Amino acid sequence: MNIDLRPLLLLLPAVVLGVVVWVKHAQVTRLEDKLTVANTIATHNDERIRLAAADIAQRDVQIAALTAENSKQAADFSAYIERLDAINRDTLNRAEALGRLLNESEPARAWGAVRLPDVVARLLEYHADTAGTASVADPLMSAGEALRPAAATSDIEPRTGLGTPDDPRRP
């Protein structure tokens, strides 16, 4: 039996060529799928980059606003410190002037040496003890004692002399 292999030999390269084309087509399909995935990832990354850039721009605006506010507060604080320094200098100048005035005249020295009334001294001591804190209960008053009008206090003697309304030397 003699089989003619010529048609088979002609068909064999066509089959091999078909297999090669089918393998290449499968590779191209896989590469297209990978390219589609890569493009999707790139699109998502581009969107993330765009959102990050917008967020950075917004934060830059916030930083600029905070920097401007900080500069304004620093300038305000410097002005406040300068005002305090001016007030302190003025206070020191007034204290020195008052000290000179008290030392210059005998009546002024006597007026400065007068002992304060007990009620005023207790009030000043109470204020110093509480360091300026507000308190509802006053320890100088007994429970249920009402405040008396200022004119009703009899334990305070009116002052006479320099600086009082009945002082003849008062201008």
Q: 88, 101 in Cβ contact below 8 A?
A: no
Give residue 157's pLDDT.
52
| Tokens read off for 133 | 């804190």
pLDDT above 50 for 84: yes
pLDDT above 90 for 58: yes
Give residue 136's pLDDT.
45
Residue that has been written with the tokens 């509802």 in this structure: 136
Helices and strands (H and E) in the chain: how many: 3, 0
Q: How far apart are the first and last CA of the chain?
A: 157
pLDDT above 90 for 153: no
How many CB atoms are closer than 10 A to CB 133?
Answer: 7
Give residue 171's pLDDT.
46
Q: What is the pLDDT of residues 108-140, one digit of tens each?
A: 777 777 888 888 888 888 766 665 444 444 455
Domain ranges of the chain: 11-130
Q: 102, 108 in Cβ contact below 8 A?
A: yes
How far apart are alpha carbons 129 and 132 in whole angstroms?
Answer: 8
Q: 108, 162 in Cβ contact below 8 A?
A: yes
CA atoms within 13 A on the CB side of 43: 6
Query: Which range (1-5, 42-46, 66-70) has the least confidence?
Result: 1-5
Q: 167, 160 in Cβ contact below 8 A?
A: yes
- Cα 6 to the center of its chain, rounded Å: 95
Taking the model in full, what pTM does it have? 0.40
Model confidence at 163, in pLDDT bands (50, 70, 90)?
low
C-alpha torsion 29→30→33→35, nearest 10: -100
**Average pLDDT for 98-117:** 80
% of residues, the chain, pLDDT over 90: 47
Give residue 143's pLDDT.
47
Give residue 128's pLDDT.
65
- Cα 46 to the center of its chain, rounded Å: 37
